[in-house]
């Protein structure tokens, strides 16, 4: 049942709290139904909850699947008659809604609580392991292909193997350059007993090996013809490997354009932003959020194009920063004065929701507290002599991705029950995150 008609519908929301082995269930009744007491029943499997109302509202029924199996003792918790929390919504002129909340213990044998890292390694969509030599990239909004079809035709065929058209490689983590700087600053000194000439020769060989293996002092990531380098949010290619792209018209007026805007790449057909030029890497970066991929290597797969929501790509970037910098608060902006301050409260949330458009199965997301900020620079670079009010990391996004992020956070906030929409001065939102396990289960079902 859709939540859109709030005059006569129930609304259910459940969140898994793994640290205390409980599920919080919210049951919201709009103003028109606040005079009745809901009946809540736990399914035989203890993995779903059904809420119904007595006459004359017996046709009002809602069911959701829980994020995990709960204990049999949870039936008693659901049969109690708690007092509702009366919530006033300024955007609902008909009157306040009544929110009921319940805590249910997780079943002791539930596999959803098996020991695992807080942040798993499968949060990045489209890694090299997902690709094949014939993988194609095209515009998400139209059918314009961006990979040059002539690349790879001159690559010699190996013995008993088909020619390798495209090579896909994952880039190292974002702190790769920092680790290399640290290594060069703290290289071990030669032993005192070594002859000076031997030590010099050994050092020279070591530096040569470092340059070849990519960890030398002057090493940097560069685009390679015929090879696509992949990081959390982009694909890095050489200019010659790309077709169907053009630089933004703003380059023609460099005096008025901002530096970040000079690197913008657009689809030659629909003019949508696809990526940006990366001069330091001698290549072009295509944004994962703005393209579609066909990763199947068989020829009859023209309709098997995949894309990921922009919020999922942003969530992966935040998770990568959490893992690399051990940070939880971020200033997110698109080069403008205003932006968003995000506090990733829970990077791996499992929840269920009865809103229209939500899957009947439990979803995986990040629980994010957020607030708008009018001056990004004040938080990132406080005035001399003034301490920063909090430790934050910076994440700059393209303007279209920034708009999509704000929309996703607001949409998820609208989806939450009134009693869970705010935490002090923060608004609460959910960002869907990528799960390889869930993606594989969907593809296997297809």
Q: What is the pLDDT of residues 388-411, one digit of tens each?
A: 656 889 999 999 999 999 999 999
Last residue of a domain, one of 294, 320, 354: 294
Q: Which two tokens stand for residue 91?
A: 């955007």
Query: Within a domain: residue 190?
Result: no
Name which residue leads in pLDDT, 248 or 348.
348
pLDDT at 186: 57
Name which residue leads in pLDDT, 100 or 173.
100
Decide: 26 and 13 in contact? Cβ < 8 Å. Answer: yes
262-313 tens-digit pLDDT:
578 999 999 999 999 998 889 999 999 999 999 875 655 566 889 999 999 9
- Separation of alpha carbons 243 and 144, rounded Å: 9
Name which residue leads in pLDDT, 15 or 387.
15
My answer on whether omega of the bond before 56 falls inside 30° of 0, hence cis, is yes
- Separation of alpha carbons 130 and 444, rounded Å: 15
Query: Strand 329-333 relative to strand 393-396: parallel, antiparallel, unpaired?
Result: parallel
What CATH number corresponds to the domain at position 231? 2.170.150
Asked if 328 and 436 sit in the same domain, the reply is yes
- Separation of alpha carbons 194 and 216, rounded Å: 24
Asked if 241 and 331 sit in the same domain, the reply is no
Asked if 261 and 345 sit in the same domain, the reply is no
Evaluate if residue 87 carries a pLDDT over 80: no
Asked if 379 and 248 sit in the same domain, the reply is no
Number of structural domains, the chain?
3
Name which residue leads in pLDDT, 252 or 129.
129
Looking at 162-171, 290-299, 434-443, which range is the least confident one? 434-443
Evaluate if residue 88 carries a pLDDT over 60: no
Asked if 251 and 380 sit in the same domain, the reply is no
Asked if 270 and 145 sit in the same domain, the reply is yes
What CATH number corresponds to the domain at position 78? 2.60.40
**SS3 (DSSP) at 388:** coil
Report the largest interatomic distance among the alpha carbons of the chain, rounded to a whole angstrom. Answer: 96
23-62 tens-digit pLDDT:
999 988 876 676 778 889 999 999 999 998 888 888 888 8
Evaluate if residue 361 carries a pLDDT over 60: yes
Q: How many CA atoms are closer than 13 Å to the CA of 175, on its beta-carbon side?
A: 10
Asked if 167 and 270 sit in the same domain, the reply is yes
274: left (phi over 0), alpha (psi -120 to 50) or beta: alpha
Q: Which domain holds residue 145?
A: 128-155+163-171+221-294
pLDDT at 82: 64
Q: Residue 6: pLDDT band by 50, 70, 90 thresholds?
A: very low
Identity of the highest mean pLDDT range in 94-98, 324-328, 372-376: 372-376
3-class secondary structure for 328-383? Answer: CEEEEECCCCCEEEEEEEEEEEEEEECCCCCCCCCEEEEEEEEEEECCHHHHHCCC
Query: Within a domain: residue 195?
Result: no
pLDDT at 385: 66
Query: Within a domain: residue 6?
Result: no
pLDDT at 38: 85
**Neighbour-count burial for 313-323, b at 16+ CB within 10 Å, e otherwise:** bbbbbbbbbbb
Bridge partners of residue 432, in order along the sequence? 365
Angle in degrees, 0-180, between the axes of helices 310-325 and 399-415, rounded to the nearest 10: 100
For 400, counting Cβ atoms within 10 Å of its Cβ (0-12 exposed, 13-18 middle, 19+ buried), the class is: middle
Asked if 238 and 135 sit in the same domain, the reply is yes
Query: Within a domain: residue 302?
Result: no
**Neighbour-count burial for 45-73, b at 16+ CB within 10 Å, e otherwise:** ebbbbebbbeeebeebebbbbbbbbbbee
Bridge partners of residue 26, in order along the sequence? 13, 101
188-222 tens-digit pLDDT:
555 555 555 555 555 555 555 545 445 444 556 88
**Neighbour-count burial for 236-270, b at 16+ CB within 10 Å, e otherwise:** bbbeebbebbeebeeeeeeeeeeeebbbbbbbeee
pLDDT at 439: 57
Name which residue leads in pLDDT, 310 or 187.
310
Decide: 433 and 314 in contact? Cβ < 8 Å. Answer: no
Q: Tell me what the mean pLDDT of segment 210-237 comes to.
A: 76
pLDDT at 56: 81
Mean pLDDT of the chain: 78
Evaluate if residue 161 carries a pLDDT over 50: no
Query: Within a domain: residue 176?
Result: no
Q: Tell me what the mean pLDDT of segment 313-323 comes to.
A: 93
* pTM tops 0.85: no
pLDDT at 154: 44
Asked if 254 and 379 sit in the same domain, the reply is no
Asked if 266 and 369 sit in the same domain, the reply is no
Q: Residue 20: pLDDT band by 50, 70, 90 thresholds?
A: confident
Asked if 147 and 264 sit in the same domain, the reply is yes
Angle at 256 between CA 255 and CA 261, to 5 degrees: 105
Query: Within a domain: residue 384?
Result: yes
Evaluate if residue 65 carries a pLDDT over 70: yes
Q: Which of 16, 17, 114 is nearest to 65 (CA)?
A: 16
Last residue of a domain, one of 242, 261, 294: 294
Q: Tell me what the mean pLDDT of segment 222-227 comes to.
A: 90
Query: Within a domain: residue 3?
Result: no
- Separation of alpha carbons 227 and 237, rounded Å: 7
- Strand extents, DSSP E, 124-181: 136-139, 167-170
Query: Among residues of the chain, what percentage have pLDDT more than 70?
Result: 69
Q: Which of 196, 206, 123, 132 is nearest to 167 (CA)?
A: 132
pLDDT at 352: 92
Q: Residue 183: pLDDT band by 50, 70, 90 thresholds?
A: low
Residue with tokens 């793994």: 18
Q: Tell me what the mean pLDDT of segment 367-388 comes to.
A: 84
Query: Within a domain: residue 178?
Result: no
pLDDT at 137: 93
Asked if 148 and 106 sit in the same domain, the reply is no
């Amino acid at each position: 049942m859709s939540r859109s008609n709030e005059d006569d519908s129930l609304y259910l929301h459940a969140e898994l709290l793994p640290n205390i082995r409980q599920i919080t269930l919210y049951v919201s009744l709009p103003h028109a139904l606040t005079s009745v007491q809901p009946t809540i029943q736990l399914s035989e499997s203890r993995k779903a909850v059904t809420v119904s109302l007595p006459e004359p509202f017996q046709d009002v029924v809602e069911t959701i699947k829980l994020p995990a199996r709960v204990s049999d003792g949870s039936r008693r918790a659901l049969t109690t008659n708690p007092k509702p929390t009366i919530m006033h919504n300024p955007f609902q002129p008909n009157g306040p809604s009544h929110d009921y909340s319940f805590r249910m213990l997780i079943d002791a044998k539930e596999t959803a609580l098996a020991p695992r890292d807080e942040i798993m390694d499968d949060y990045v969509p489209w890694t090299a392991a997902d690709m094949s030599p014939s993988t194609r990239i095209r515009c998400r909004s139209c059918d314009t292909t961006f990979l040059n079809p002539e690349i790879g035709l001159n690559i010699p065929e190996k013995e008993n193997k088909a020619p390798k058209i495209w090579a896909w490689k994952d880039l190292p983590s974002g702190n790769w350059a920092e680790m290399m700087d640290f290594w060069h600053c703290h290289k071990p000194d030669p032993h005192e007993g070594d002859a000076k000439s031997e030590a010099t020769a050994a050092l020279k060989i070591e530096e040569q090996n470092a340059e070849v293996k990519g960890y030398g002092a002057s090493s940097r990531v560069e685009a390679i013809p015929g090879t696509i380098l992949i990081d959390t949010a982009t694909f890095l290619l050489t200019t010659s490997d790309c077709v169907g792209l053009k630089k933004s018209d703003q380059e023609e007026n460099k005096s008025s354009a901002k530096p970040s805007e000079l690197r913008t790449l657009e689809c030659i057909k629909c003019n949508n932003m696809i990526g940006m030029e990366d001069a330091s890497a001698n290549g072009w970066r295509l944004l994962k959020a703005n393209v579609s991929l066909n990763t199947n290597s068989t020829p009859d797969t023209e309709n098997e194009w995949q894309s990921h929501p922009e919020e999922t790509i942003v969530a992966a970037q935040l998770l990568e920063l959490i893992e690399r910098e051990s940070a939880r608060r971020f200033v997110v902006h698109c080069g403008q004065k205003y932006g968003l301050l995000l506090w990733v409260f829970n990077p791996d949330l499992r929840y269920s929701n009865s809103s229209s458009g939500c899957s009947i199965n439990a979803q995986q997301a990040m629980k994010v507290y957020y607030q708008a900020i009018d001056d990004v620079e004040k938080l990132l670079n406080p005035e001399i002599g003034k301490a920063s009010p909090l430790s934050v990391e910076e994440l700059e996004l393209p303007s279209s991705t920034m708009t999509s992020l704000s929309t996703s956070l607001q949409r998820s906030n609208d989806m939450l029950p009134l009693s869970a929409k705010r935490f002090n001065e923060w608004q609460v939102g959910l960002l869907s995150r990528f799960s390889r396990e869930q993606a594989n289960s969907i593809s296997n079902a297809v």
